[in-house]
Structure 1
């Protein structure tokens, strides 16, 4: 069953960031994105780091989980949870469930349908190139200085005849490195002084 406009996914993480259990609309959201390999049964007992390797993301998740376990205080951060047919503004709330587990609750705050975005469609044909997509705001880094909304990035790729589309990989744009860093206790100093202006990208536009 495909996800509705408003979705809520829930998962529990151990102290070493291993996925303990999953609930809510997880499977429906995975199906909506044709990410069948990310079904609940497939990801339980795996580490978060098996799904992204971007250093800032790893540091951020470690910091959030450590803070929640040590203080018992929840952490809340906004993010975009888009799919090809939906633009979603979402909220991630991390709570200490017990001594051994944190609960991650991802809930939709607003949802807007849109024309199908093939750049986000995992079934679309891909080239051997790749571009970074920000895990928080879902903008795509099209060169060393510009991050665009996914529809704009798709338009530029097509105008530059960069089709088949490149693969998209997890990254964090410079603006989100600062904004998210300042929302997380203990992360503020790093976010201001360790912002990277380019998280990858191997597509040359206009070639």
Structure 2
């Protein structure tokens, strides 16, 4: 998908239930092997069903509260695929009745060698590795490193099954986004 072409919008109501998604939502979900997050799967569900870790939940709640108070909140983040780094910007705007509109726009992409660790259909074992929800670095040897470095450090390239990914937030992103 070309830069500038990806614009996804969704809305939550005053109870944080997803009530609307834009037409590009399904296309993005299906293009990224994520049929479990199509519009049919997310509409009428709480946004909190899709935010995994406490630090990210805390920031989302903070961003949404600011938007509901009338602030326009802008947040840079990453949404990477196995062979592509995606740099995006999310804007949150309060709506009448206490809802919040989320607008996500693709800023740029960077190709990279395919990372099987990031494939949704990859077979996983019982291990978990933690990935930052915002910058997509992985916790490895008590440091947050890019996926490519983590694969080498953890010797994942020669394993039949890869660890599953759980999400968290690195200290750098928490400091940057907690204003």
TM-score (norm 2): 0.91
Q: Which runs of 5 or more residues in structure 2 are unaligned?
A: none
CA contact (8 A) 1:126 1:164 kept: yes
Q: Structure 2 matches for 1:1-16, cutoff 5 A?
A: 4-6=1-3, 7-16=6-15
CA distance in 1: counterparts of 2:154 and 2:104, whole angstroms: 31
Partners of 1:154 and 1:81 in 2: CA distance = 18
**Alpha-carbon distance change, 56 to 102 in structure 1, aligned in 2, over 3 angstroms:** same
Aligned pairs, number: 177
Coordinate RMSD, CA, aligned: 1.7
CA distance in 2, matches of 1:119, 1:101: 36
Q: Any unmatched runs of 5+ in structure 1?
A: 183-207
Structure 2 counterpart of 1:94: 92
1:33 aligns with 2:3: no
Measured after TM superposition, the shift of residue 61 of structure 1 is 1.0
Q: Where do residues 1-207 of structure 1 align in structure 2 (5 Å cutoff)?
A: 4-6=1-3, 7-70=6-69, 72-143=70-141, 145-158=142-155, 163-182=160-179
In 2, the alpha carbon distance for the partners of 1:5 and 1:82 equals 15
Measure, in 1, the Cα distance between the counterparts of 2:68 and 2:121: 39
Question: Take 1:167 and 1:5, find their aligned partners in 2: how far apart are those partners?
Answer: 29
Q: Tell me by how many angstroms 1:153 deviates.
A: 1.4
Instruction: Please report how far the alpha carbon of residue 110 of structure 1 lies from its aligned counterpart in structure 2 after TM superposition.
Output: 0.9
TM-score with structure 1 setting the length: 0.79
Distance 1:160 1:108, change over 3 A: closer
1:18/1:47 contact within 8 Å kept: yes
